[in-house]
Amino acid sequence: MAKFELNVDGKPHALDADAEMPLLYALRDDLGLKNPRFGCGLAQCGACTVLIDGEPQRSCSITLASVMDRKITTLAGIQKDGKPHKVQAAFIEEQVPQCGYCLNGWVMTSVALLERNPRPSDAQIRDALSGLKCRCGTHVAILRAVKRAAMA
């Protein structure tokens, strides 16, 4: 066990944990956050995506030791003054959610994309979102939502 100081959603958090514990477990089990979600546990589906220093990362495969002194942003941390981020608002407007389990990964990856490239092409959006899984098949609505957010 070791002591860790994590910067999550702009707030410091201290915890005692194994250095090799996945960040996902610390976020959900130790800090009590509802998102990210556990999906596959193999960094393949994206349900566990968080932003680490602004880049989308699969928190199920990142150890606590590797995120010391880094800025971790979860779905809750992208809101401003209690209002949804423009990507979240676009997902709502386009009625993207079905079961909603995977949305964390799609939203967080879209936020990172639009921070890097505010006006991405369709091909750039598809490329940025490749590797994420949605079993409900809402991919077309997701693409519309990212385009809407880019125009906001």
Per residue in 91-139, pLDDT (tens digit) is 999 999 999 999 999 999 999 999 999 999 999 999 999 999 999 999 9
Alpha-carbon gap, residue 31 to 6, rounded angstroms: 10
Span 31-57, average pLDDT:
96
User: CATH second-level architecture of 2-75?
Assistant: Roll (3.10)
Q: Please determine whether the domains at 2-75 and 86-151 fall in the same fold group of CATH.
A: no
Position 26 confidence tier, pLDDT thresholds 50, 70, 90: very high
Tokens coding 111: 């936020």
Domain 86-151 indexed as CATH 1.10.357.10: no
Mean pLDDT score across all residues of the chain: 96
Instruction: Spell out the domain ranges in the chain.
Output: 2-75, 86-151
pLDDT at 81: 92
